[in-house]
Amino acid sequence: QEYFELPQSPAHTIEEETSSSQMTESHGIEANFALKTWRVAFVTLRQQFNLTRSLSDRFAAGSTVYGGMAPMLQEETSSTRNRRWDLRESVELRFKPGKNGKPAPTLAVSVMLQKGDLDAWNLDTLASSYTKRYLTKEGNDLRQFWVVNLSQTLYEFRKDQRNLQVTAEYDMTYNLQTKVQEAYDLYGVDEPVINTANTFDFTYSNLVHQISFVSRYNTGNPKFPMLNFSVNSQMTQVKDRERLPADVSGDKTYYSITPSLNIRIGQLNSISLASSTSTPSVEQLRRWIDDTRPLSLVAGNPDLKLSQSWLLRLSGNSDRMRAKKWMTTWNASVQYQARPLVQRTIFYRE
């Protein structure tokens, strides 16, 4: 691969992968059970276990010409040995309807446990670095992912062709993971020296609480036959527990309200307004600078805010077909995003 010098990227780079190998082995087992009891209308259990083993080796070489300087040579050798298992459990409870057919709640809980035994190393000989050689090792501890959903119909109304239904839902998701990486400088020393800038050990958790109200109304009017409206209120708690390179902690909480509306006009046309949010990832929030490749320093921004977007869409079809051979379809949409999460790149020249 060859990347030529451009105003946006003032470097000429040639990359060549000379050899690589990869092997993946996977085993899995799954079991499902269904049970009907007198207290609960229906109980569903699901279990899944997977075991994966993968091996990969890679050797690559390249050169970079920056600003008329002499070519900077680079060789990279990497090897990965990964053994991972994950266990998934889920249960769903559908309760019996109450008296007079009153709707009953539905509860669903699922959990995923994942353990990775990762043994990976990477040797980098980028000539532009004063240390010139890096050796990195990575590992992951037990990861947990929980999901809880509780839904309940609050109100139902039916008369002739009209009907209205209002539903409330509570969702909780919890994600916990630990990441470990060690980096060593090997150039000009008898023994490897730990590179603190690229050595880390941290635990990251993300807890989301969401309450939603959804209403669906069939008007019985041919001009406006359907109206759907929903509103979601969400609280996201992000926690970062750093042990390396420094013993620090960071907590952030995000709040959001996202309404949506959908109106059907006639039988073939509709107008909808939807909103959504995006929370910064752990890599986007971590403040540490990754200088593994000195020509491309990477760092997060702990001051990032929640990103929210809005989408207005109009769509429809013609209800008049000539000789029933063709139909006209049209769509129009406008999207707006506040505080987008984007990658910012800055180029420096000496």
Q: Quick check: helix, strand or coil at residue 99? A: helix
Paired residues of 42 in beta bridges: 94
Please classify residue 213 by burial: count the beta carbons closer than 10 Å to its beta carbon, then call 0-12 exposed, 13-18 middle and 19+ buried: middle
What SS3 state is found at 283?
A: helix
Query: Could you give the CA distance from residue 23 to residue 10 in angstroms, rounded to a whole number?
Result: 37
| pLDDT grade for 147, boundaries at 50, 70 and 90 | very high
Mean pLDDT score, 326-347: 82
Query: Rounded to whole angstroms, how far apart are CA atoms 139 and 120?
Result: 8
Cβ atoms of 82 and 114 within 8 Å: the answer is no
* C-beta separation of 278 from 310 below 8 A: no
The rounded distance, in Å, linking the Cα atoms of 267 and 121 is 60
Contact call for residues 148 and 154 (beta carbons, < 8 A):
no
Q: What is the DSSP letter of 284?
A: H
Enumerate residues 6+ apart whose C-beta is below 8 A from 324: none
Residues 6+ apart with CB under 8 A from 300: 280, 283, 284, 285, 286, 287, 288
Three-state secondary structure readout of 239-262? EEEEEECCCEEEEEEEEEEEEEEE
Convert the pLDDT of each residue in 166-202 to its tens digit: 999 999 999 988 888 777 776 667 777 787 777 888 8
pLDDT at 68: 63
Cα–Cα distance for residue pair 24/205, rounded to 1 Å: 29
pLDDT of residue 180: 80
Burial class (CB in 10 A: 0-12, 13-18, 19+), 229: middle
pLDDT tens-digit series, residues 88-116: 999 988 888 777 777 888 889 999 888 87
- How confident is the model over 209-214, as a mean pLDDT? 94
- Is the pLDDT at 290 greater than 60? The verdict is yes
The answer to whether residue 126 scores a pLDDT higher than 50 is yes
Per-residue model confidence (pLDDT) at position 34: 83
Q: Which has the closest alpha carbon to 226: 167, 274, 155, 164?
A: 164
Section 333-339 average pLDDT: 90
Determine how many CB atoms are found less than 10 A away from the CB of residue 124. 21
**How many other CB atoms are found less than 10 A from the CB of residue 27?**
10
Of the candidates 207, 55, 58, 179, the one whose C-alpha atom is nearest the C-alpha of residue 116 is 179
Residue 234 is which amino acid? Q
Helix (H) or strand (E) holding 204: strand 200-218
CA dist., res. 199 & res. 265, Å (int): 58
Residues 6+ away with beta carbon under 8 Å from 305: 254, 339
Please give the radius of gyration of the chain, using alpha carbons only, rounded to the nearest integer: 28
Instruction: Count the alpha carbons within 13 Å of 228 in the hemisphere toward its beta carbon.
Output: 10
For the ranges 19-23, 26-30, 123-127, 254-258, the one whose mean pLDDT is highest? 254-258
Q: In this predicted structure, what is the pLDDT of residue 131?
A: 44
Nearest to 20 by CA among 82, 79, 81, 83: 79
Looking at the predicted structure, is the pLDDT value of residue 323 above 60?
no
Q: How far apart are the first and last CA of the chain?
A: 26
Residues 164, 167: Cα–Cα separation, whole Å = 10
196-209 mean pLDDT: 85
pLDDT score of 293 more than 90: no
DSSP code string of 213-226? EEEEEE---SSS-E
Please report the pLDDT score of residue 170 as a whole number: 95
pLDDT in the model for residue 235 = 93
The residue-averaged pLDDT of 31-49 equals 81
**pLDDT digit string, tens, across residues 223-238:** 778 889 999 999 999 9
Strands (E), 96-187: 106-124, 134-140, 143-159, 162-185
